[in-house]
Every structure is written in structure tokens, then in C-alpha cells.
Amino acid sequence: MEVRPVMSFSDEDKAGTLQPHDDALVVTLWIEGYDVRRVLVNQGNEVEIMYLDLYKGLGLKLGDLTNYDSPLVGFDGKVVIPMRQIKLLVQTGLVVVEVNFIVVDAYSPYMAIVSRPWLHAMGAISSALHLKVKYSFSD
């Protein structure tokens, strides 16, 4: 029988945050060998999004993309037509997972958005209240 550590958040996890707040949970992730800042963690999404600025900044080529046919709805309610999708390695600590990013040519203050598929692959939980992500491999 496998015993997994209990993952939870407490008031101690709020240390360093100004409460009450309504800030977004934004992290830095290691994507394809680069530190990528301003990555939004959004449990409400079903897909991971990469904005065109990051795609270009990583030096990715058009040939690296595969088809993605489904339109997306942006935060402002407008329909966004994705360019295509790309599978990239995302590392957190010692854990590396492959993530399918949908590449979008739209304005965003974020470089990328990770969501439920990434959280599940990482065995992670997030808390916007605590502005933290906890992983099953963390202390």
C-alpha cells in the first residue's frame, strides 16, 4: 500500500502575502530549459496556453507545431483562434512533465497559462488564497 503525504494549506502558508487579496496565482516555471516568468496557474482552464511572445522567445519553429482545430474563449469572452499546439517539457523541482500548449496570438499580461492537466500531471494542488502551489514531492 502506497502512503502519500497529506497536502494542505494553513495560515502559515499565507506568510508574505497581504490579506485579504484577490491576486492571481502567478509562478515562474522551467519550460524547455528556460526560466519563464509570469505563468498563470488557473484551475478553471482545461488546456494550457502559450502566448506568441513566449513561443517566439523560446526560438520555436513553425514545424514544431501540430494542428489544433478548436476555438478558445478568452477572459474577455471573445473567441480566439489558436495558431496550433506544441508539446514541451516543463520542469518543477526534479519532476519533468510533457505539456501540450495551445499557441495563441493574443494580448496577455502572462507568458503562459497552466491548468488542471498540468496540476494533475505534477500531482499538485494550488491555492489562490495562499498564492502557492504544493507538489506531492515537496517537504
What CA–CA distance (Å, rounded) separates 125 from 66? 29
- pLDDT mean over 58-70: 89
In a domain, 102, yes or no: yes
Domain total of the chain: 1
* pLDDT value of residue 130: 65
In a domain, 87, yes or no: yes
In a domain, 15, yes or no: no
In a domain, 84, yes or no: yes
In a domain, 20, yes or no: no
Q: Is the pLDDT score of 45 beyond 60?
A: yes
- Domain harbouring 56, CATH code: 2.40.70.10
Condensed to tens digits (0 to 9), the pLDDT of residues 4-42 reads 666 666 778 767 777 777 778 888 999 999 999 999 998
Rounded to the nearest integer, the mean pLDDT of the chain is 84
What domain range is 118 assigned to?
A: 25-135
pTM: 0.81
Q: What is the DSSP string of 41-107?
A: E-TT-SSEEEEHHHHHHTT--GGG-B-----EE-TTS-EE---EEEEEEEEETTEEEEEEEEEE-S-
In a domain, 90, yes or no: yes
In a domain, 3, yes or no: no
- pLDDT mean over 127-139: 67
In a domain, 4, yes or no: no
* pLDDT value of residue 69: 86
- pLDDT mean over 40-62: 91
